[in-house]
Amino acid sequence: MWFYLVILICLYYALCWHWEKKVVQNLPEKYVFITGCDSGFGNLLAKQLDLQGLRVLASCLTEKGAEELKRKTSDRLETVILDVTKTESITSATQWVQERVGDKGLWGLVNNAGIGLPTFPNEWLKKKDFVKILDVNLIGLIEVTLNMLPMVRKAQGRVVNVSSVAGRLSVFGGGYCISKYGVEAFSDSLRREIAPFGVQVAIIEPGNFRTLILSPDNLNDITKKLWSQVPLETREAYGEHYFKSYCKSMNYFLSRGKKNLYPVIWSMEHALTAVHPRTHYVADWEAKFIHIPLSCLPTSLLDFILSKFLYRVKPAHAVC
């Protein structure tokens, strides 16, 4: 019986491999618009797709980022300055893209732009701290998509949204996890709505990758500044020991971030170039075998596990 089970599993994965390896034709004629190309995933994806011969339209937040990207790519790649938190900037970028794609439409839209900080215990933060992240990671992503979608429909193309395993398992406070949960929900509803038009939507869920250029000293300075702005009563409730432990955990988390970004880039590339892309790409073995399984556990069991590994240090005035 076990022999037949192994054969069936092998056959299943062989069929999946054959199904997913088919590549879209005429890729050099297709346009892909990517947000957040100054650094990290967006920057590397723009270079990778340019090497593959696609017509890359890369948006950067700064002129410096755009100039550096153009120096390292071919003449096919074009850049535009885009701040996804500003409607007028999105409108201008949309017109810029429309001028270039014309009647062909936009084959690929990659919503990659995102920020992670401030990410601290919720009670230490203010409304503006949550809004800062949500404006970029969620609201900006939605507004860019709504503006670009008519061009994607015309090309019967792809929308690729960068989420995170934090969109399934929220392990720290602040707006980051909230924004990624929102990206998951928006992407799922969008996928079902525009499937009849021949448009496919994929979600990329990276694990812990080192895309944030931030030294431990810089992080400590940011954390100390935030801690000093927390009301005295709150600081006393949590205590100095809890604060130092949190800083240590954040430094450890950042230090363990993977420097090799290509597993995520390959997932993005597959979502854009495969005839049969997946709906979800979990681009990290740690995420696949630890974070995703944890997110499926009953809440009480999950809380118990996290309390033993992530929240071992209790606030000074904790009652349990």
Q: Which tens digit of pLDDT belongs to each residue from 97-149?
A: 999 999 999 999 999 999 988 888 899 999 999 999 999 999 999 999 999 99
Is there a domain that residue 289 lies in?
Answer: yes
Indicate whether 27 belongs to any domain: yes
CA distance 218 to 300: 36
Q: What is the DSSP letter of 114?
A: -
- Residue 61 is encoded by which pair of tokens? 């937040």
In a domain, 306, yes or no: no
Q: Is residue 252 part of a domain?
A: no
Look at residue 216 and tell me if it is in a domain: no
Q: How many domains does the chain have?
A: 1
Instruction: Report d(CA 128, CA 125) in Å as an integer.
Output: 8
Query: Which residue in this structure is represented by tokens 């153009």?
Result: 70
Angle between helix 127-134 and helix 175-194 axes, rounded to 10 deg: 40
Query: What per-residue confidence (pLDDT) applies to 213?
Result: 57
The three-state (H, E, C) secondary structure of 201-238, written as one string: EEEEECCCECCCCCCHHHHHHHHHHHHHHCCHHHHHHH
Q: Which structural domain range is residue 78 located in?
A: 23-210+259-298
- Residue 220 resides in a domain: no
Does residue 316 lie within any of the structural domains? no
- Catalytic: which of 31, 176, 238, 242? 176
51 domain-assigned: yes
Q: Give the span between the Cα atoms of 37 and 59, in whole angstroms.
A: 6
Q: What is the mean pLDDT of residues 272-301?
A: 89
Q: Known catalytic residue: 176?
A: yes
Say what the pTM is: 0.90
Tokens encoding 241:
């020991």
Which CATH number characterizes residue 193's domain?
Answer: 3.40.50.720
